[in-house]
Amino acid sequence: MEYDIKGKTAIVTGSAAGLGAAIVEKLVREGVNVVMSGIRRHDDTQEKLDRYNQTGVKVIFIECDVSRKEDIDYLFDETLKQMGQVDILINNAAIWLTSYIRDMSVEDFKHTLDVNLVGPFLLCQRFINYCIDNGRKGKIVNMTSQAAFHGSTSGHAHYASSKAGIVGFSISLAREVARYGINVNCVAPGIMESKMVSAIVDDPVRREKYLERIPIGRIATVEEVARVVLFLVSSQADYMTGATLDATGGMLMR
């Protein structure tokens, strides 16, 4: 498949590990320059940067707490300073706190919204204004979840709420900016083999309960979901906007 994204520049939040790191791998292989971003560097971050930069692309890491507007402004400004342009924005950073509603603190609820919904809003706002002001087309992918549609019965109502908000926000944004050549879409993963949900995937009992909900019968790898994101930022998805792609193995089916 021809993706036609070689030479473009992408920002990927939450990309030090897990799904975000897998997305970066896919983009680098297609010749995309990437700004990796996370709340902190991981032990292997420099090794990844060195390896990526030997392939002919430019990859940098900028620390950013997406719940802080000043961090987001720094991320975007520094990206333009070091990379010269931005063509693709992938809002992947998220938190997944656990608490049932009857015991949930207002602070945890608000913090989840700040990271999972307000942060993507602020980055999207910077990105679309940059694109519109400079007459540039762009691609945005916002990560949502099957929980946005099914809700949560396992103590993650704040997460489900934030991810439902991402869907509504992305549709509204897509309607506003389509005429400028900016595409906005979502990907909804289900359960993945990742550190964020290790409490589930590493627990045989909980893992089996999730497997019973997945028609395909197995948990996704982060690479499988990353391929869906790669498709959406490519020229193959130029006629798609305001859509949410189901990458749940059949948990969602919408």
pLDDT of residue 3 exceeding 70: yes
Mean pLDDT of 188-199: 81
**33 in Cβ contact with 83 (< 8 Å):** yes
Domain limits at 139? 9-195+222-246
Domain tally, the chain: 1
Q: Decide: 35 and 12 in contact? Cβ < 8 Å.
A: yes
Judged against a pLDDT cut of 70, whether residue 167 lies above it is answered with yes
- Residue 201 in domain: no
What is residue 210's predicted lDDT score, i.e. its pLDDT?
Answer: 80
Tell me the whole-structure pTM to 2 decimals: 0.96
The pLDDT value recorded for residue 74 is 98
How high is the mean pLDDT of the chain?
95
What is the model's pLDDT at position 191?
87
Q: Compute the C-alpha angle 187/191/194, nearest 5°.
A: 95
For residue 20, being part of any structural domain is answered with yes
CA distance 57 to 45: 16
Residue 3 annotated as catalytic: no
Tell me if 145 is assigned to some domain.
Answer: yes
- Nearest partner of 122 among 95, 161, 89, 83, judged by Cα: 89
The Cα–Cα gap between 195 and 185 comes to 25
Instruction: For tokens 């590493």, name the residue.
Output: 202
Is the residue at 217 inside a domain?
A: no
| 123 falls within a domain | yes
Active-site option among 52, 159, 180, 239: 159
231: domain CATH number is: 3.40.50.720
Residue 139 lies in a domain: yes
**Positive or negative: CA dihedral 73, 75, 81, 85:** negative
And the tokens for 222?
Answer: 């982060």
Residue 198: the pLDDT is: 62
* H/E stretch holding 237: none
Q: Give, rounded to a whole angstrom, the gap between the first and last alpha carbons of the chain.
A: 25
**Could you read off the pLDDT of 68-109 as tens digits, one per residue?**
999 999 999 999 999 999 999 999 999 999 999 999 999 999
In a domain, 1, yes or no: no
Would you say residue 214 lies in a domain? no
Over pLDDT 70: what percentage of the chain? 97
Dump pLDDT digits (tens) for 40-63: 999 999 999 999 999 999 999 999
Q: What is the pLDDT of residues 145-159, one digit of tens each?
A: 999 999 998 899 999
